[in-house]
Structure 1
């Protein structure tokens, strides 16, 4: 466990931590939007609203939250209008994305125009919402890689969401089921999200910068050769230059075998950790899983890989 002196020293040397956003305590106004894929029906929206209200939040729902245009929750204009309405409303304290899927990156030019005039607002979601997290990071704001609103919250996920988003107390997490890929301790700001989205942002104004960062990555439904290709792309692009640590989450339903051969996610992460020479954990509770941490991207943290711990500093 980190000593009190070590924790204090790490917290004191956090020059790259981003600006905090409002605490979403009871009574906070949370806007619920669908910036990516469509919902499967009104029951998912009703469950999302009920979950938000159970957290003590006042809820408003985007006009087009139930829209569907192909594999989008409405066309780009509709999804963008809902998101920008939430961003520009001074009464809104936070934005909780109802689901992931695909489509958030298509909204980035409009989001970028609105961010400079936006009062700081919490953003919650994961998977495709990584594109919006990248925009928040570029604007110097912390955002929350956590559950989307439509999914039922397990007790574990709810407790993590509450302690990070509502209570904002210093947190020491133990990833008891994670594997130590490379030992050591490192402090840095948390950055990353869904690997496919992080890779897709290479070469854009919203490309992720992992310098001085503890990198968080997860994914779903990607064969390992595709994961290999995305990690290689990021390495060749210099995205990992200056990275301080890796807190790798779950790669759910990612088959290791294709007709040309077999490679595991473990092998890929071991290769990356060896190349970067940084402390690395694999299998922390982040990603497309029922029990997940809510990770404040942009906040300062210390990764103790040998102890399988991640400490958030406030």
Structure 2
């Protein structure tokens, strides 16, 4: 019996070491002449609103394919779950498509994720781009070992030039780093690790599923929109109780936009809630980083190694 237990322990350690050493796969960066597909995985997009985004891509030297889900109308969603999955699958399987750009967020990506077959994607990886509800795809790809881009979407018509340029740099593999002024809530320090995360509500909803992110030794990015303050507290407590915060190397808090309170106030604002839940951890934290539901939504490469440095003057985020 003792020998069996010893073998089990050794095997567990061996597997853990292999997992820790596994490197994230970075899809090939784009070059002029490559083709990018625009699809809908969640909320419908029935308006004629893609011309500005297509113009950006054309100016970058890219070709554009419009997916079959653009224009489909199924109540809130861009067609049925099967239709959205089929459109995404078509782009996954087509080796001529080098990136898939999700048109908008909302809700619905989680309803189609289990229909997807990533066999051909693994043979020919490509970039998946978007934010908000697209966090479902970022997290799922991360568990599979593939990087993706958290950034503006085709309907982000009010995106700043800096946000657009950050997406171009991310797609074409140019050096990506950001320097932002120090926020009074920041916690100083430096750290380096793989970047994971996205929309807090989505991360919370994925816990316990095969798409849930592994937070061990990672740097966590979170952002959210239109939530009640006590919901933020609930979600942060869930991350804590699931062990996600225990082994983080650092946290980047993006836009926490349009938060709400009850008639009886919660008693803390959104940044104070995050600070309260994370105060026991001796890690650097950047607050109010320009990424999320805002015009100045800077691109982040999820799954890539990133270094953060936080001091009393500024915060730096540098991708390797």
Q: TM-score, normalised by structure 1?
A: 0.89
Q: Report the Cα distance in structure 1 between the residues aligned to 2:307 and 2:65, rounded to whole angstroms.
A: 36
Higher relative CO (Cα under 8 Å, sequence separation at least 6) belongs to 1
Q: Bigger CA drift: 298-307 or 17-26? A: 17-26
Which has the higher Rg, Structure 1 or Structure 2? 2
Matches of residues 273-284 of structure 1 in structure 2 within 5 Å? 273-284=278-289
Tell me if the contact between 1:195 and 1:230 (Cα under 8 Å) persists in the aligned partners: yes
Distance 1:257 1:17 in 2: 44
Once the 2 structures are TM-superposed, how far is the Cα of residue 263 of structure 1 from its aligned partner? 2.0
For residues 171-209 of structure 1, give each alpha carbon's deviation from its aligned partner in whole angstroms, at most 9, with x where no partner exists.
331022644421111110000000000000011011111
Verify the 8 A CA contact 2:245 2:278 in the aligned structure 1.
no
**Aligned-partner Cα distance in 1 for 2:169–2:118:** 32
Instruction: Output aligned runs, 1:59-138, within 5 Å.
Output: 59-111=64-116, 113-114=118-119, 117-138=122-143
2:194 is aligned with 1:189:
yes
Tell me, which stretches of 5 or more residues in structure 1 are unaligned? 1-13
Cα distance in structure 1, aligned partners of 2:226 and 2:277: 20
**Which residue, 272, 291, 308 being the options, matches 2:315?**
308
Which residue number in structure 1 is paired with residue 247 of structure 2? 242
In 2, the alpha carbon distance for the partners of 1:67 and 1:92 equals 21
Q: 1:114 to 1:262 in 2, by over 3 A?
A: farther
Unaligned stretches of 5+ residues in structure 2: 1-19
The aligned residue for residue 11 of structure 1 is: none
- TM-score for the superposition, normalised by structure 2: 0.88
| Alignment equivalent of 1:202, drawn from 207, 228, 231 | 207
Between the aligned partners of 2:265 and 2:274, the Cα distance in structure 1 is 20
Query: Does the CA contact (< 8 Å) of 2:131 and 2:151 recur in 1?
Result: yes
The CA deviation string for residues 251-308 of structure 1, in whole angstroms up to 9 with x for no partner, is 0101245435432012112113313221101100110000121000010011112141
Q: Is 1:23 aligned to residue 29 of structure 2?
A: yes
Cα deviation, residue 135, structure 1? 1.5
Closer/same/farther in 2, CA of residues 50 and 26 from structure 1, 3 Å limit? same
1:34 corresponds to which residue?
A: 40
